[in-house]
Amino acid sequence: VKGNVVTGRLLLPDGQPAANVPVMVATHRDGFGDGDGRGINSRTDEQGRYRLVTRQGWPQRLHWFPEDFAS
């Protein structure tokens, strides 16, 4: 499957790495990538880094959800 590699690093406001944060790419305009079959899920490592391989297609959205996230 062809796709694009998306990498990044999340930091907390104090500059420390944001470890174990869910990072998701929605591959459909109605999905958040949260297990509904419309996205790719990952988590940051201990240094706040993530790597996702996305599919070609609809413009995709990157989401991250810190531990204290509330909808």
Q: Looking at this protein, which amino acid is placed at residue 61?
A: R
Alpha carbon distance 12, 32 (integer Å): 22
Contacts of 23 (CB under 8 A, 6+ apart): 8, 10, 41, 42, 43, 44, 50, 52, 62, 63, 64
Alpha carbon distance 32, 38 (integer Å): 7
Could you list the pLDDT tens digit for every one of the 71 residues in the chain? 567 888 999 998 899 999 999 888 876 666 555 555 556 788 999 999 999 887 776 667 777 777 765 54
- Residue 60's pLDDT is 73
- Residue 71's pLDDT is 45
CB atoms within 10 A of CB 15: 6
